[in-house]
Amino acid sequence: MRPSLRRRLLFLLSGVVLLVWLATAAITYFDARHEIGEMLDAQLAQSAGLIVAQIEELSGDDDEDDYRAVTPRQYKHERKIAFQVWDRDGQLRLRSASAPQTRLSEASEGYGDAMIGGKRWRVFSRWDERHHHIVQVGERYELREELAGHIAGRLLYPLYFTLPGLALLIWLAVGAGLSPLSCITREVARRAPDNLAHLDARNAPREISPLIAALNALFDRVKTSLEQERRFTADAAHELRTPLAAVKTQAQVALGATNENECHHALVNVVSGADRATRLVEQLLTLARLDPQTALPPGQTVDLPALTRQGVADIAPAAAAKGIALGLTAEETTLTVAGDAVLLGVLLRNLLDNAVRYTPPGETVEVALQRTNDGISLVVTDTGPGIPAEERERIFDRFHRVLDSGEEGSGLGLSIVRRIADLHRARVSLAPGANGHGLRAEVTFP
């Protein structure tokens, strides 16, 4: 189960706060260690100065035992701080209880670092005014690390208590911030299936306005699709009613026929009506398959000359039955386009079927393939009645037919041609044929 947006924001924000807090503690630790180092270095120098002053006071005393006295421990960090007093002959005259027997540092003046007993020391060395004694005051680095770590640790202590409370506040704040999204969700969930009105985006936060705009655009597309489907269903039902009614009428005539010729004629009409209904159903199914498509699968190519030869061969029997001559002209034998061979076959079949059906017997239908400046053109030219100029754009509408054309049809053929051409990014144009007679249908592929 994927985490919710609210939980994801909680984890992200809490993680960011934790990282920032840890980074602050780390920066504080290193900064405190630096400042503590400077402060304790100054303290070492000050302590050395005090010891030098005491030595100078005692330098006139003949009792050397006072110089060898060892100072007792006074506080918990005493073992981490030590001092030594050496004379110029290299004799240890005085040291603290925590100081070793060897010199803390080989340096004769100023600051230095030393490793004694596996421990790292910070040492300050100083001669007295008469240059008789050298005082060395040392401090283990552990003390500095402990002080800096203690400061950084104190900074982290509130985190243990405030982070859970902060997480709760973030959870509540994120919930309040996402409440407009929850309102939109409830509004969409309560909607009836046929309610495609726009969602109100006036009070929506800026971040979800694009989502609401996308939903509203989707509602518009769904509404348009439903309206087209309703119109298509109504038109299809109307168109199917006519051939089915004709089939029923001719079947009744055949049943009531009194002689064989009348029965035969009626049955021929039944077959013709059934063929018309079959063609209409095929076209409706083709459109139903094409409508949901928005693009073609990539990487497919179609050999147009081979496809065209096959299409001409398929329509040849129907043309021969009407005494129509078919001609095919291809300037090149290798003309390929990106597309779907099955759909392009449907496109060509509809163009050829229209041309053969509307061309008078004894005339010709010409098919040509040629390369142009715009791409590759497939041209089908007939010598039929043609289409008036004012009808050439509307003829692509579904179920639109030219009146007094002399042929029965469903008005879907050119709609299918236009839809397939759009899927192939091709352009369909209609113009008069040779000498202004007939129709020239041209499909130009990019």
Residues 316 and 227 in one domain: no
Residues 373 and 255 in one domain: no
φ/ψ bin of 265: left (φ > 0), alpha (ψ from -120 to 50), beta (otherwise) = alpha
CATH code of the domain covering residue 355: 3.30.565.10
* pLDDT value of residue 69: 41
Tell me the per-residue pLDDT of 11-35, one tens digit each, with 9 for 90 and over: 777 788 778 877 877 777 777 666 6
CATH code of the domain covering residue 157: 3.30.450
Confidence band, pLDDT 50/70/90 cuts, at residue 370: confident
Is residue 177 included in any domain, yes or no? no
Residues 13 and 145 in one domain: yes
* Minimum mean pLDDT range among 154-158, 186-190, 266-270, 425-429: 154-158
Tell me the per-residue pLDDT of 323-368, one tens digit each, with 9 for 90 and over: 888 888 877 777 888 888 878 888 888 888 888 888 888 888 888 8
Residues 317 and 416 in one domain: yes
Mean pLDDT of the chain: 76
Percent of the chain residues past pLDDT 70, beyond the cut? 75
Residues 272 and 301 in one domain: no
Residues 226 and 342 in one domain: no
Q: Which of 123-127, 293-297, 363-367 has the highest mean pLDDT?
A: 363-367
Say if residue 417's pLDDT is above 70. Answer: yes
Residues 389 and 436 in one domain: yes
Q: Are 197 and 219 in contact (CB under 8 A)?
A: yes
Residues 301 and 285 in one domain: no
Residues 339 and 279 in one domain: no
Tell me the per-residue pLDDT of 298-326, one tens digit each, with 9 for 90 and over: 768 888 888 888 888 888 888 888 888 88
What count of other Cβ atoms lies within 10 Å of the Cβ of residue 254? 17
Residues 326 and 279 in one domain: no
> If residue 138 lies in a helix (H) or strand (E), which one and from where to where?
strand 133-140
Which tokens sit at 276? 């018309």
Is residue 181 included in any domain, yes or no? no
Domain of residue 108 covers 5-163
What count of other Cβ atoms lies within 10 Å of the Cβ of residue 362? 10
Total domain count, the chain: 3
Residues 153 and 247 in one domain: no
Residue where a domain terminates, one of 289, 317, 344: 289
* pLDDT value of residue 63: 47
* pLDDT value of residue 159: 67
Bridging pattern class, strands 325-330 and 133-140: unpaired
